[in-house]
Structures are given as structure tokens and as C-alpha cells.
Structure 1
Amino acid sequence: MKNTLFTTVLVANRGEIAVRIIRTLRAMGIKSVAVYSDADAGARHVREADQAIRIGSAAAPDSYLNITNVLEACRQSGARAVHPGYGFLSENIAFARALKDAGITFIGPNIDALLLMGDKIRSKNHVAAHDVPVTPGIAEPELSDEELIDAAESIGFPVLIKPSAGGGGKGMVAVDSPEKLPAALLSARRTALSSFGDDTLFLERLVRSPRHIEVQILADTHGNTVHLGERECSLQRRHQKVIEEAPAPLLENLKDGSSIRAQLGAAAVAAAESVNYVGAGTVEFLVSDEAPGEFFFMEMNTRLQVEHPVTEEVVRVAGERLDLVAAQVRIAAGEPLGFTQDQVSLHGHAIEARVYAEDPAHDFMPSTGRLLRVLEPGGEHVRVDSSLVEGLEISPHYDPMLAKLIAWGDDRDSALARLDRALASTEILGVLSNIEYLRLLLIDPEVRAGNLDTTLIERKMPDMIFRSITHTELVLAAAMFIARSPGSGGTWRSRDSWRLGARTAMTTTLEVEGRLWTLTSVPTAGGRRFTLEGQDFEVTQLPGGNFAINGVQEQQITAFGDDSTLWIGRDGWAGAVRSLDQRELLHRELANRTLIPGEAPPEVRSPMPGTVIAVGVSDGQLVRAGEILVTIEAMKMEHPMFSPGAGTVSIGRLRVGDLVKANQVVATLDYTAEAEAS
């Protein structure tokens, strides 16, 4: 059905959600307009839209959060409607007002609903007045840190700090004791202000081991509101959802699950109707594992959710699939829903995994870089919502989510198995990803049994064993480096064993995650013989650039980032191998000679590119080991840089707002000063 009101819709977002919205607009016969920052000039959503308009530099406040620039893009393109996706301006009241003043339709709720439900304090107080249960806490506007600290004593620890604006878990901090609360409030306010432009906070009692259940609703302008079942989103890390599914295993495993589902749905509809809600929205609840009939309102997200595909995969309306983006567009155009609650049914089970550019083995450190190789899974009942293309630069300016993999099955077990196979066949080289971590979660006994809660990942993480590079893969990397550039680059960069007189064994030094590996090799009649830690490997180069090691052809996926970096991947795991030339080895050796044995390096380096958001010390200050020196923000997350030892610190000209590169020195320690002072 072609929409008769909108001929052109501007998508005020980026990444996988922009691509997903553009896909539906194309199917509806509506022209799509993409907007992009300088960092996204070559992005997939820019390529796939009918028209694309630059709206600013890489930083989100200068582009995707710049209301003036987005409105100008509407004017240039002639778009009479805007789909905001999620995040960025999707729940921004000033944006909705500006669109209304310009006569442009906001594909989302009305301003009154945004005001009430877009603010967690107002929404909590509002639904409580409509007999929706809420968690104990204090939710009042403009509370100072002192007032929050005083209130925490009566609420009882542990407490959860929550920003009133925004979502996605940003700024949420769990605090288990009074002495930790002041510092946590400071960090939460800073995150809330930088992410949402509003540092208002409130407190709730932290419900231990809760289930996170949310209900999808749709409402039109004709007074019709329906719910579309529930989603279980209990698998979370730092309040950020990782794996989501529908329907909720909690309810599926209960004899009275259908009754509780109806109660949750009715509460969600009541919350939406209380503000005359229009469009797609999600009402989120905390549900006790021990008493699933008791649930507490958390918040209402007045937008499309990241996890909406699992609802689309299981919901049938009069036997047909439902496209939530298409429903949003039609509702915004004034069309009625066209169906009633009794026509909604659930079919099978769907599970979604979020693929992030991050390193789970190292505290989920964000990973940036250029995508060298991308292969996404296919097959029946596998869906990929993605923004990935080879050559795309993954920058530190935006959320690290790369894609979402969704699998459907007749039952939960088949959906889990299908999702794991899809993850195993996904190839992403050029940045680190969490695919291996996702697969470890999917095979966990508690996850497979559906025994989920929001603290499960936190409990399981210390016991997770991540795959490391194998000796065979190191040999493969060395062979590929030698084959790629034998003897090139002059004496300093030579990879062969040139010397005056007889040829000797070649030495290749590789670096993986900061560890150095040394391999020696000699030519043989069929190729080369490598020796690594006393073990020999016979390597033969095959036609097409492939290699056989000890007679077995290697099946790893590989891609060169540059002359010195090789990415290797298999079954969802990926890692980078660097080849060190003679010049770099000499520089490292000279630097190590200046270190006192057992002493930490004096330089503190940023592990990723990002923005300095806090400098906690000044030049010449005496600091303790473990003290926070500088805080870097990358991919919407704060990363404190700690002092490796006690001494006098120097930060030079580093200031808040400065951009730093990966491996850039942000502080230098003089350990002798501390020794002299003691």
C-alpha cells in the first residue's frame, strides 16, 4: 500500500537503523533522504538512499544532533516528514517542535507524550497516578547531589542512579554503599549532560536479579491502541542490552504465562493511552523472577527500539507479518491501524544479537578502524540489519553497534541454534567485535534454559575464556608476511635473511595483543620450515595464495590492513597480527633499557581515539598508583586512564575537549620524584 501523504521522507539517523528505514521506505514507494556527517560520507545508508545531504562534521552535536542542519536538509530535499530512528533526536522535544513549526511531520508521538514519557521522572510519577506499579525511589525534578544523597538513605542501598532524559543505559550507575554515591553522581551527571544535554538525575532502589521485560505498542490517531506481545531483554552489560528475544522465556515457562502476558500488555496500553500516545512505543518493566506476577514500570521509550526486529519476526496480524516502520509511517500519515487486539498472535520464537565494535576480552574496549572484509550470514529465517560495507571507517564518534543478527525458529532451541550458526558464519575483519562473546553467551547453560536476569552477564564474565591466537595461525601469518613483501623496504625493513656470506635462518617477529612472538624459518624444497617455541611447521604455498601447514590447507579468513598488519578470523573470532621490522624492534629495545626492572612504563597512552572529557590532575602533581589522570570518551562511553605508579605527573597541554589518537601519550610519570618525596 503506497502512502498518499508523504512522497519524500528524511531519515534523521545513521548506521543500521537508517539502512533499515530506507529499505521500508523503498518498499512503500517513498523517496528516502539520508543525512550524513563527514565521518559517514562513504557509509552504507548514504549509498542506499535516493538522496543524501551532508549536515556537518564528525562530532554528533555538529551533525546528527544539529536541529538547524537537519531542518535545512528537509528544506533542500523537500521532505515533508522525518523518521528519527532511535537515539540522536528521536526523543528530542525541541526537534519535534521545530518540525511542527516548519510544517513537517514527525514520525513519532505528539509533543505532550514526549514531554511526559520522554522524561523518566515525569513518566514515573504520571503512570503511578494511573495505577501502574513503579519501583520505590525518588523522582523529582532538579534534585541536587545533596538531596539525592539524603534520599538514598531512606530508599536503601543498593540504589540505581538514572538520568531523567535519554536511554540506552547511558549514565545509569548502580551504587552499593553511601561512600561511593558522590563520585557516581558526578560521573552520571557528566554522562547525561554530554549524551542528552540534560544532567537531571533520580534514584530507584536497585532490584537485584530482575528480569527486563518490555511490551511493544502501536497507537493511531483514531483512538486505537494495541500491544504486540513482550520481549525479554534481560541479557545486558552495563545496562545496555546485548541479546533480546520474543516471546519472553520467563512467561513461556509459566503455566499462567498467558495471563501475565495479558496483564503486562494491558498495563502498557493503559500507560500509552494515559498520554494519548500515537505511533510505535515500548513500555519497559522490571519483573521479579521469584514473583513474575509482580512487575514495576521502568520507563516508556517514545520511539522505535533497537530490538524491534524480534517482534516483527514473531508477531502476526490476521496471519500476516507486520513491518513496524511501515506502521509508523502510515500512522503518521493519519491512517488507522486497520486491526484489533484479537487479530494479533505470536508465532514461533526470535532472538537478536547486537554486534559491537569492541574487545570483550579487554573490558569491552571500543575498537576503531577500517573494515577490510565483511561477509554477512544468510539462509532461511536469518535476518541481518546492518550498516557494514568493506572500506567503511568505524570512527570513535558514535555508538559502537555495527549490526544486528536475528534468527527465527519454531521454538526457542531452534532459534538459538540458528543464531549461533549465523554468528559463526559472520566475517568482520579490520576491527575487533563481540561475536565470539555472543556465541559464548548463547551456549551458556543458564541462557539456554532461559534462566535470565540483568546481572547474569556480570556474574558470568569472569569465567569466560576467550580464544587466543594459535601457533598454526602465527605460522600462517609469518608465511603470508614473507610472501607479501620478500626483501622489500631496504635493510631496515627486510624480511629475508640477507647477510654477507652464507644464508642463515630468517627471523620474523610478530605482535599479538602486546605480546611478541619470534619465529625462525629456512627455505625447503617445497616451501619453508618455520620453528616456533621448539615446534617445526612445514609450510607450502598453494595456488591462489593459500597455504598448507604440515600438509593441511588452512581455512582461516585473512585480510591485510597495511604492510605490517594482518587480520585473521574464523568462526566469529578475529584478531590482528603485526609484523615488526628491525627499526621498530631497535626503538623498543632502546626504550626498554631506560626502564628500571619491575617499574611500569612512564608514559600513559590512550588505547583508542576519542575526546578528553575530564582531566583530574595538573602538571607537577604527586599522584598515587591507580589514580585517575584523564578520562577519554569514545563511542559514547567513558574510559578513565589510571596512573601506573606513584610519582609526579605531567599532562602538558592536554585539555578537556581535545581529540586524542590511539596510542597517543596523555600523561607522563616521573617515578623518581615520588621516591625522593618518600
Structure 2
Amino acid sequence: MPTNFDTVLIANRGEIAVRVIRTLRALGIRSVAVFSDADADARHVREADTAVRIGPAPATESYLSVERLLAAAARTGAQAVHPGYGFLAENAAFARACADAGLVFIGPSAEAIELMGDKIRAKETVHTAGVPVVPGSSGSGLDDAQLAAAAREIGVPVLLKPSAGGGGKGMRLVRDEALLADEIAAARREARSSFGDDTLLVERWIDRPRHIEIQVLADGHGNVIHLGERECSLQRRHQKVIEEAPSVLLDEATRAAMGEAAVQAARSCGYRGAGTVEFIVPGKDPASYYFMEMNTRLQVEHPVTELTATLAGVRGIDLVEWQLRVAAGERLPYVQEDITLTGHAIEARICAEDPTRDFLPTGGTVLALHEVQGDGVRTDSGLSQGVEVGSRYDPMLSKVIAHGPDRASALRALRAALAGTVTLGVTTNAGFLRRLLAHPDVVSGELDTGLVEREAAGLVDGEVPDEVYAAAAAVRQAALEPPVADGGWRDPFAAPSGFRLGGERAPVRHWLRVPGHDPVAYDIRPGEPGAVAAQIEPDRVRITVDGVLHTFHRSGDWLGRDGDSWQVTDHDPVAAALRGAAGAHGADTLAAPMPGTVTVVKVAVGDEVAAGQGLLVVEAMKMEHVISAPHAGTVTELDVTAGTTVAMDQILAVIAPHEPAGESATVSEGEQESAS
């Protein structure tokens, strides 16, 4: 057990904070959680030994406040700080501030963070150490014109990357030279928002590449080993969604060569602790790998290494434990020959996002939750029932990891675990990931970083299945049943049975709506042959439609099955018609596609705009979404300014369309109602 400290403060939140607390508890070390006002009821706060409020919801005033974090450590007697990943995990100034305050920073030195955090210097350093690097721009602090010139010299397609960051934030793939100026501006804006530094570099884009990274572990005595690779090629918008270990692409010779290159990269910066060296690999030529960057922290996907790495014949390693041991000054008791890989592990990231709405961030209160654990499956999560998922922080909620003796068994186990994952109240990508893992190219291991983007449309179930409406109507029908009086008597004339004297039963109609879809009228004919049969339970509904039994989890208006979920609300067609008659803006209205914050407003009331012109930018969960004009027209309403916090579907602006030449501006009642 690390003996240099007995209390550790975790300078993070959510899933990773819960993960670190688990290891601290196993080692008998007291854990200190920190939280903003938005996280007062969060799981990591409840699971820690003690917790300290560090400020209001904005990260800049809480999780990114070095002063408040150090004050929390001092108040609780912590001797060390674990930064998790994200926020200040790769912030050299924070590492120095911890050292200056007499705290052990559980990670590498500030100098190593600074060096590897600057992608330009990092490439130069590892290249000098003999590690191959991706061709790209040279020099730091290039202005927009110099970046554009470097991109043209390399030749499109090129990749714009923030020098100070990672995780895909601020990265832009540019295939058209004409778009360079706009993409550079957007990349700088996102880099500044995410990392406080808008320095960019440009690299050659390798078509259909694979993303493979090597886990390294180094102590403070000059010993460095690697624990094998992770395949992270399944990405969307440069963000990893599925990771696995080992990679099916590498043979033993290439694995050994890349591992040695990663070790040399770590040595070149005097690394200490757990870190990851990332490589871009041409799928058709795995031996031609290139260094991309080094992440000087624990990675989100570290569990797949923990489940496959075998140390001196013992499978499984706790990387957080070894971060603590190395930070406490211990020597690594292993050499490279002690490390082997056993079986196969695959991880899926569960995020608060809606695949049917182009993966826009979502939010809400977790009404029902079931996370799979055991039998080769592990779920690392920051969720608990009743928790509010907001738009302030990263959208990742949890990770589901499966291990098996081979890749096929791990894939099957992970698909089953995703099908068994229930998160009602917040739309997630779990169902999408389950379908992705069944894609033929994924099953065969024919991966590349563009696969998800190419195949996403076919993996999104855009239509609401009929049985969802049937289940929702059945629940509402059951709620209409009259109560049972004393003695077990029920008034038959109060039952919504559709009974009519001298005629066939009339249907009982339920108007239903799933957000983003048209309203549906679902008719139930109770008691008739062939009628839908339903069994309603407090947390489930089982319904037979056309002879097929369907089982849904339910809570409130929410239904869930196989990782997918739907919020099915009541719809009032009369009220909707009245709203239309009252002159709803309809297609002229720009509404927030997700809960978030308006960061850019490019127009004012009275401005003339062109169809497709970008007017505003809404940011949520570290993602920007440009709001564009639906048609040419005039801005007649503008209800937000930069910094305004908005809810999903909140009205942002109204664009009155330009009247076509020779046509009247009068809108008929029918047209107006249709637009609503």
C-alpha cells in the first residue's frame, strides 16, 4: 500500500471520480470528492469519504479553479491529488501548484505535461528519440495565414489540431481549400473554449487510418514498461466510442516495435506514472505507424488494458493503484518480459446524446437505471437514479466493458450488456453502440477511424417502432380503469371499453407523441378478438402485438428496450390546432436543438440573411452547434445574446422569409396550420 499519504483529493467528477474512489477504498486511503452546485447530489459525492463544495456550476468557477481545489485539499488534510482525466489532468500549472502547496500530484511532472501537452514540441522531441511522426507544420504560434499556407503545402485533406488539447476537441478535417479560413476560425474558437489556448497545428490526413495507442507505466527511478496496445479506431467526430485490447491488426513483431517506440517516447520526456502514446496507423500497412501525441494522464479506455494485461502470470492490473504507488515513490517490480496479454476486452462509452438527432447532447433526470455488472462485464459509471444530467460538462455518463477468452465472445458479451443497460429519463447512445458492435466490418475487425461516420445513418433507428406506441397506449388505457370499490366491485359503465348498445365496440383513441416525430393516434379495442394484450407492472410493460411479445422497462413517460429509450408524451390535437391558428412561427423559428449556452451571435434584429447562413452558435457538453438560417429573410426576433443559457427547443430567433417576387405576403389559414 502507498504509505506516503492516507488522504487523496480527486480533482474531478462523475464516472472517473467514482472509479478512483473504488481503488482508494480498496487500499484503505481516505477519499475526498469535490463538487460544484450542479453536482451536489452526484454519485461521486455520496460515495467519497468526504466531499467539499468548490463553487457554482460553471467549470471555470469550480472544477477548473486551481485556487479552490487547493483550498479543498488543505481543509481536508489531503496529501495528494488525483486529477482523473479532463479538466486539469494535463495542466502543468496545476501540477506545479500542487507541488508548491506540498501536495503529491498523482501524475507526471509539470515539465513532462508541458512538453507533451504542446503537440508541436512533443513531435519534435519524440522524433529526435527515433519515433516516427506524422508529416505536418513546424513551429509554434502560427497565425491563420501561415496555417493555411502549411495546409496548402501539405495538400488537402489535412487535419487541424489544437496544440494544447486532446480528445478530438477543436479538431477539423479539411478536404476543401476554400473552407480553410472558416475551419481554422472554428478550430481556434473551440480550442480556446476547451483548453484556454487556441494554438493550432496542421497535419497530413491519412485516409482510412487506424488509431492505436500504447499504455505505458513508468516509475520515478527510470523504469518504463508498456502494457500492450488498445485499438481506438471506432470514432465519431474524432471522439472514441469503442475501444478494445488487443488490436486484431497487429502481429507480434509490430506490437513489440510500437511498444518499444512508446517506451522511447515516454523516456524522451522523463515520464512518470501511467500514460498513453497514441499512433496513427495506415490500415493497409501496419508497420508504417506514426506518433500522434502522448496523453499524460489516465485514459477513459484504461479498463480494457486492466482486464487483459497479465503481470508475471497474474491477469488484471489496477492502473489507478499503480498511479498511486508510483506517486508514492515505489519502484516498478516488473520488466517488459513479465507482461503478456490474456483474452480480449472491449469498451463502449455511454453518452447523453441522441443518435436520431445527429448525436446532439441531451439531458434530464435519471428516472430508472440498471447497469450490468459481473460475468465478464464491468460498468464504470457516475450515474445514480434521481441524478440530473445537465449540459455543463462532458456528455459521457458511463462505460461498459466486457472481457472474454477471444474477441468474438467479448463482442457478444458487450452487445448483451448494452441491451441490458437501462437509462430512462435521459436519451443515450447505448442502442446505437449495440447495433454498431453487430456491424459486419466491426465483427470482422475491418476498422478505420471513418467507419462510424460512414455507417451511422444505417445504425440509427429513426422510426419509432409500432410496439412502442402500443405499450404507451396500453399504460394509458390501464390508468383509465375505474378503481376497485370495497368488496372488489368495479363499475362496468366507468370502464373505457368502447362498449356501445346495439353495435360494435368503438375504439378508445390515445394521441401520443415522441419528440422529433409526428403525433400518432393509437386505437385500442378492449375485449375484442385480436386486441393488443398487455401486462402492466410498476417498472415494466409486456405487450403482445401480432403474436409477438415485447417487453419494455418503463418510468413515467419513458419506455426502454435493448439500450434504446423513448419518451412518449400525450398529444392534444385540438390544442395543437389552436396554437397553429394563433400564428405559431413554425419553419421561420430557430429553436435550440439541445440544452446549452449561446456562445456566438452573428446577427441583429433587422439584418438580412441568406439561406444556410450561420447565425448563432450553441455550445453544450463541450460541443458546438451552428444555428443556420432556414431560408433567406430578415431577422425579426432575436431572443438571446452571447452567454445566454437555453433549454432544448427554446426559441432563439425568428427569420421572416423574403416574399417571392409577384406573390402576396398573405398566408392562408391552411398554410399557417400546416406550418405549425
Please, what TM-score do these two structures have when normalized by structure 2? 0.91
Structure-2 change in CA distance of 1:675 and 1:609 (3 Å) = farther
Determine the structure 2 residue equivalent to 1:356: 351
- Distance (whole Å) between structure 2 residues aligned to residue 543 and residue 284 of structure 1: 49
Determine the structure 2 residue equivalent to 1:389: 384
Determine the structure 2 residue equivalent to 1:275: 269
Determine the structure 1 residue equivalent to 2:448: 453
Determine the structure 2 residue equivalent to 1:406: 401
Determine the structure 2 residue equivalent to 1:636: 622
Contact 1:214-1:230 within 8 A present in 2 as well: yes
Determine the structure 2 residue equivalent to 1:569: 560
Determine the structure 2 residue equivalent to 1:372: 367
Determine the structure 2 residue equivalent to 1:555: 551
Indicate which of 334, 338, 341 corresponds to 1:339: 334
Indicate which of 657, 662, 672 corresponds to 1:671: 657
Contact 1:124-1:139 within 8 A present in 2 as well: no
Write the mapping of 1:587-626 to structure 2, written as runs, cut at 5 A.
587-591=578-582, 601-626=587-612
| Structure 1 counterpart SS, 2:449 | coil
The more displaced of 192-201 and 652-661 is 652-661
- Distance (whole Å) between structure 2 residues aligned to residue 39 and residue 151 of structure 1: 43
Determine the structure 1 residue equivalent to 2:430: 435
| Structure 1 counterpart SS, 2:113 | helix
Contact 2:14-2:397 within 8 A present in 1 as well: yes
Contact 1:556-1:568 within 8 A present in 2 as well: yes
Determine the structure 2 residue equivalent to 1:579: 570
For residue 507 of structure 1, report the CA deviation from its aligned partner. Answer: 3.3
Indicate which of 502, 510, 513 corresponds to 1:511: 513
- Distance (whole Å) between structure 2 residues aligned to residue 7 and residue 676 of structure 1: 80
Contact 1:497-1:507 within 8 A present in 2 as well: no
- Distance (whole Å) between structure 2 residues aligned to residue 361 and residue 578 of structure 1: 18
- Distance (whole Å) between structure 2 residues aligned to residue 295 and residue 194 of structure 1: 31
User: What residue identity is the alignment partner of 2:104?
Assistant: T
Determine the structure 2 residue equivalent to 1:154: 153
- Distance (whole Å) between structure 1 residues aligned to residue 481 and residue 627 of structure 2: 40
- Distance (whole Å) between structure 2 residues aligned to residue 129 and residue 29 of structure 1: 43
Determine the structure 2 residue equivalent to 1:259: 253
- Distance (whole Å) between structure 1 residues aligned to residue 76 and residue 584 of structure 2: 61
For residue 661 of structure 1, report the CA deviation from its aligned partner. Answer: 1.4
User: What residue identity is the alignment partner of 2:283?
Assistant: D
- Distance (whole Å) between structure 1 residues aligned to residue 617 and residue 460 of structure 2: 29
- Distance (whole Å) between structure 2 residues aligned to residue 208 and residue 548 of structure 1: 47
- Distance (whole Å) between structure 2 residues aligned to residue 339 and residue 392 of structure 1: 42
User: Identity rate of aligned residues, in percent?
Assistant: 50
- Distance (whole Å) between structure 1 residues aligned to residue 496 and residue 143 of structure 2: 66
| Structure 1 counterpart SS, 2:285 | coil
Determine the structure 2 residue equivalent to 1:292: 286
Structure-2 change in CA distance of 1:539 and 1:31 (3 Å) = same
- Distance (whole Å) between structure 2 residues aligned to residue 392 and residue 213 of structure 1: 35
Determine the structure 2 residue equivalent to 1:136: 135
For residue 356 of structure 1, report the CA deviation from its aligned partner. Answer: 0.9
Contact 2:635-2:655 within 8 A present in 1 as well: yes
Determine the structure 2 residue equivalent to 1:193: 192
Structure-2 change in CA distance of 1:379 and 1:505 (3 Å) = same
Determine the structure 2 residue equivalent to 1:563: none
- Distance (whole Å) between structure 2 residues aligned to residue 504 and residue 288 of structure 1: 65
Q: What is the count of residue pairs matched by the alignment? A: 648
User: What residue identity is the alignment partner of 2:337?
Assistant: D
| Structure 1 counterpart SS, 2:531 | strand
User: What residue identity is the alignment partner of 1:556?
Assistant: F
User: What residue identity is the alignment partner of 1:666?
Assistant: L
Contact 2:598-2:616 within 8 A present in 1 as well: yes
- Distance (whole Å) between structure 2 residues aligned to residue 495 and residue 115 of structure 1: 71
Determine the structure 1 residue equivalent to 2:491: none
Write the mapping of 1:63-212 to structure 2, written as runs, cut at 5 A.
63-212=62-211
The more displaced of 376-385 and 326-335 is 376-385
Contact 2:38-2:56 within 8 A present in 1 as well: yes
Determine the structure 1 residue equivalent to 2:41: 42
For residue 656 of structure 1, report the CA deviation from its aligned partner. Answer: 1.0
User: What residue identity is the alignment partner of 2:608?
Assistant: L
For residue 628 of structure 1, report the CA deviation from its aligned partner. Answer: 1.4
- Distance (whole Å) between structure 1 residues aligned to residue 169 and residue 578 of structure 2: 41
User: What residue identity is the alignment partner of 1:557?
Assistant: H
Query: What's the CA shift string for 1:405-441, capped at 9, x where partnerless?
Result: 1111111111111111111111111111111211121
For residue 547 of structure 1, report the CA deviation from its aligned partner. Answer: 5.7
- Distance (whole Å) between structure 2 residues aligned to residue 377 and residue 369 of structure 1: 21
Structure-2 change in CA distance of 1:344 and 1:538 (3 Å) = closer
Contact 2:363-2:391 within 8 A present in 1 as well: yes
For residue 72 of structure 1, report the CA deviation from its aligned partner. Answer: 1.0
| Aligned-pair Cα RMSD in Å | 2.6
For residue 520 of structure 1, report the CA deviation from its aligned partner. Answer: 3.6
The more displaced of 508-517 and 368-377 is 508-517
Structure-2 change in CA distance of 1:114 and 1:249 (3 Å) = same
Structure-2 change in CA distance of 1:222 and 1:608 (3 Å) = same
For residue 482 of structure 1, report the CA deviation from its aligned partner. Answer: 3.9
For residue 130 of structure 1, report the CA deviation from its aligned partner. Answer: 1.6
- Distance (whole Å) between structure 2 residues aligned to residue 242 and residue 662 of structure 1: 24
- Distance (whole Å) between structure 2 residues aligned to residue 552 and residue 443 of structure 1: 23
- Distance (whole Å) between structure 1 residues aligned to residue 277 and residue 611 of structure 2: 45
The more displaced of 294-303 and 456-465 is 456-465
Contact 2:242-2:346 within 8 A present in 1 as well: yes
Structure-2 change in CA distance of 1:3 and 1:510 (3 Å) = same
Determine the structure 1 residue equivalent to 2:643: 657
For residue 541 of structure 1, report the CA deviation from its aligned partner. Answer: 5.5
Query: What's the CA shift string for 1:40-68, capped at 9, x where partnerless?
Result: 11111111000011111111111111111
| Structure 2 counterpart SS, 1:199 | coil
| Structure 2 counterpart SS, 1:303 | coil
User: What residue identity is the alignment partner of 1:484?
Assistant: A
| Structure 2 counterpart SS, 1:184 | helix
- Distance (whole Å) between structure 2 residues aligned to residue 351 and residue 66 of structure 1: 35
Query: What's the CA shift string for 1:261-319, capped at 9, x where partnerless?
Result: 11111111111111111101100011112221111110000000000000000001112
Contact 1:227-1:265 within 8 A present in 2 as well: yes
Write the mapping of 1:226-245 to structure 2, written as runs, cut at 5 A.
226-245=225-244
2:311 pairs with 1:327: no
For residue 654 of structure 1, report the CA deviation from its aligned partner. Answer: 1.8
Determine the structure 2 residue equivalent to 1:533: none
- Distance (whole Å) between structure 1 residues aligned to residue 173 and residue 543 of structure 2: 52
Determine the structure 2 residue equivalent to 1:62: 61
| Structure 2 counterpart SS, 1:277 | coil
| Structure 1 counterpart SS, 2:278 | strand
Contact 1:137-1:204 within 8 A present in 2 as well: yes
For residue 237 of structure 1, report the CA deviation from its aligned partner. Answer: 0.6
| Structure 1 counterpart SS, 2:93 | helix
